[in-house]
Amino acid sequence: MQAWLVRIVALVFLAYGVGFVFVPGLLMQQVVGEIPVASSAWIDLRATYGGLSLGVGLLLAVLSMRTETLRAGTLGVVFLMAGMAGGRIVGMVLDGSPNGYMMLYLLLEIVTAALAVWTLRGSPKLI
């Protein structure tokens, strides 16, 4: 189950990465209801949301392929999801009025982090 969890999260990051590199406006409009105006904002959006997500997805996919690195991949999922959930909660508190996507993402991040922690309970501590 641990490997499948890491692989599913990897696929989600890869999908978001491809989307934000090639059609960032469509995704931003759908998820947050706004699109950037300045060229530098588009470039940073493609790099940060797109390129970083692609890199994270590839890293998790590679880590999920070997028993020796699976625990590191699972810990990566815990840290990534907890970090995203934490940042989202801070944003909700400071900025208020989250849309439905923000609430859904928060729920998925918390559930995924908890599930990853649960899968670690019996795995050998190789790292």
Q: Is residue 65 part of a domain?
A: yes
* % of the chain at pLDDT higher than 70: 96
Q: Is residue 49 part of a domain?
A: yes
CA distances from 46 to 15, 28, 57, 85, 114 (A): 13, 11, 15, 21, 29
Boundaries of domain holding 46: 2-120
> In total, how many domains does the chain have?
1
Q: Is residue 126 part of a domain?
A: no
Q: Is residue 125 part of a domain?
A: no
Q: Is residue 127 part of a domain?
A: no
Q: Is residue 46 part of a domain?
A: yes
Q: Per-residue confidence at 127, pLDDT binned at 50, 70, 90?
A: low
pLDDT digit string, tens, across residues 69-116:
999 999 999 999 999 999 999 999 999 999 999 999 999 999 999 999
Q: Is residue 62 part of a domain?
A: yes
Q: Is this model's pTM higher than 0.85 or not?
A: yes
List, as one string, the DSSP characters of the chain: -HHHHHHHHHHHHHHHHHHHHH-HHHHHHHHHS----SHHHHHHHIIIIIIHHHHHHHHHHHHTTSHHHHHHHHHHHHHHHHHHHHHHHHHHHHH----HHHHHHHHHHHHHHHHHHHHHTTS----
Q: Is residue 101 part of a domain?
A: yes
Say if residue 122's pLDDT is above 90.
no
One-letter amino acid of 111: V
